[in-house]
């Protein structure tokens, strides 16, 4: 079982801290839990968090030892993290653990020197600060997450869920990740290069929404779909469609369509024995060459290699949490 260590660095962001357990704790492969998640802190016990709360963390930094993945969640310790945390992170990286951060956890990784020479991101209000304080880090400001191999970083809040789903997708395929996303009632795939901030604030769109048009398109991925088709369904002009689409999703309509088609192809490769040509047709990518191009660009695998790596029985889903996480929430004294 893949071991995930989550570090709560005070003052911790409770939402960020809950994401790894929610995502990894729901992932089943062949009916069995795929991950064991444990939360640790420099000093076990009550850990300071935002919003006048404290979280009770049973484990210490020993959770890092032997972990396959180590995740630092959002924290207010942007200026000076606990030296014990930095030492534990360096130790994990040296041992070959996959290292990741959610939100301002990137500052902790940067303080440990683990982002030097790497592309990285963080919550957009703090991107300039990260770049200024750590010039050896290639800060990418307006993306949801960055996968730079052994080190991954995400933007704030919900982008942490996108990062964790990306890790599940990388480990076990699109079908397992989609099953987890359904349980969490979130989009199964928001790719890392999607913008953090919408082109327009949600209020600018008023009651107008393209959710129905996106659902309509998802049911027709095997058919040719042009901008005029999407605009006709939405009863709007192509120009307005494109502007609203970017405001709601951070993507152009055609970028969004391509992402959905690649994900459909991944699920078909995992869950069926259809020939590659038929997978390309049913996902709307047209030809085997087109499928090969887009899949290789997205996951660095050919269709055959992807199927060999991820194919198997239909994934199960689970709602239980992984025992031994050592995380509970309580009101702070006097709150």
Distances (CA, A) of 147 to 15, 78, 103, 252, 334: 22, 21, 14, 22, 41
Q: What is the pLDDT of residues 84-108, one digit of tens each?
A: 999 999 999 999 999 999 999 999 9
**Which burial class, exposed, middle or buried, applies to 66 when counting CB atoms under 10 A from its CB (0-12, 13-18, 19+)?**
exposed
- Cα 26 from Cα 188, distance rounded (Å): 14
Q: What is the pLDDT of residues 17-69, one digit of tens each?
A: 999 999 999 999 999 999 999 999 999 999 999 888 999 999 999 999 999 99
Is pLDDT at 329 greater than 80 in this prediction? Answer: no
Partners of 35 in beta bridges? 2
Distances (CA, A) of 314 to 29, 30, 31, 148: 9, 8, 9, 30
User: Which residues are CB-contacts of 214 (< 8 A; sequence separation ≥ 6)?
Assistant: 249, 256
> What does the pLDDT average to over 309-320?
54
Q: Are 295 and 302 in contact (CB under 8 A)?
A: yes
Is pLDDT at 182 greater than 50 in this prediction? Answer: yes
Q: Give the DSSP letter string of 14-62.
A: HHHHHHHHHHHTTBEETTEE-EEEEEE-SS-EEEEBSTTEEEEE-B-GG
The pLDDT-based confidence of 196 (bands split at 50, 70, 90) is low
Q: What is the pLDDT of residues 260-279, one digit of tens each?
A: 999 899 999 988 999 999 99
Q: Check residue 305 and give its pLDDT.
A: 93
Tokens of 266: 């991944």
* CATH code given to domain 202-310: 1.10.10.60
How does DSSP classify residue 186? S
Q: Are 74 and 156 in contact (CB under 8 A)?
A: yes
Whole-structure pTM value: 0.76
Where are the domains positioned within the chain?
Answer: 2-185+318-331, 202-310
Is pLDDT at 5 greater than 90 in this prediction? Answer: yes
Is pLDDT at 326 greater than 50 in this prediction? Answer: no
Q: What is the pLDDT of residues 108-139, one digit of tens each?
A: 999 999 999 999 999 999 999 999 999 999 99
Architecture of domain 2-185+318-331: 3-Layer(aba) Sandwich (3.40)
Q: What is the mean pLDDT of the chain?
A: 87
Distances (CA, A) of 48 to 82, 178, 328: 14, 33, 13
Above pLDDT 90, what percent of the chain? 69
């Amino acid at each position: 079982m893949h071991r995930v260590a989550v570090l709560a660095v005070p003052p911790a962001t409770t939402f960020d801290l809950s994401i790894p357990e929610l995502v990894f704790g729901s992932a089943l492969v062949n009916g069995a839990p795929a991950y064991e998640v444990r939360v640790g802190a420099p000093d076990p016990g009550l850990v300071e968090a935002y919003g006048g709360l404290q979280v009770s963390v049973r484990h210490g930094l020993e959770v890092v030892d032997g972990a396959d993945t180590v995740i630092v969640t959002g924290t207010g310790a942007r200026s000076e993290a606990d030296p014990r945390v930095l030492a534990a992170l360096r130790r994990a990286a040296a041992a070959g653990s996959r290292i990741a951060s959610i939100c301002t956890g990137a500052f902790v990784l940067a303080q440990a020197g683990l982002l030097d020479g790497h592309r990285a991101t963080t919550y957009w209000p703090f991107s300039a600060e990260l770049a200024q304080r750590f010039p050896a880090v290639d800060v990418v400001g307006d993306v949801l997450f960055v996968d730079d191999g052994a080190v991954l970083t995400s933007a704030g809040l919900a982008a942490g869920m996108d990062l964790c789903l990306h890790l599940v997708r990388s480990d076990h395929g699109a079908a397992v990740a989609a099953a987890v996303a359904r349980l969490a009632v979130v989009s199964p795939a928001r790719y890392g290069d999607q913008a953090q901030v919408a082109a327009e604030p949600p209020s600018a769109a008023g009651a107008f929404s393209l959710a129905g048009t996106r659902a309509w398109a998802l049911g027709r991925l095997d058919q040719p779909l042009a901008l005029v088709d999407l605009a006709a369904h939405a009863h709007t002009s192509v120009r307005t469609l494109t502007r609203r689409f970017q405001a709601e999703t951070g993507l152009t309509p055609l970028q969004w369509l391509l992402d959905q088609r690649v994900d459909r192809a991944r699920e078909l490769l995992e869950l069926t024995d259809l020939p590659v040509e038929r997978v390309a047709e049913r996902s709307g990518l047209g030809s085997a060459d087109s499928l090969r191009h887009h899949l290789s660009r997205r996951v660095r695998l050919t269709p055959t290699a992807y199927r060999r790596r991820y194919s198997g029985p239909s994934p199960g889903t689970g709602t239980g949490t992984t025992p031994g996480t050592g995380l509970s929430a309580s009101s702070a004294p006097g709150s």
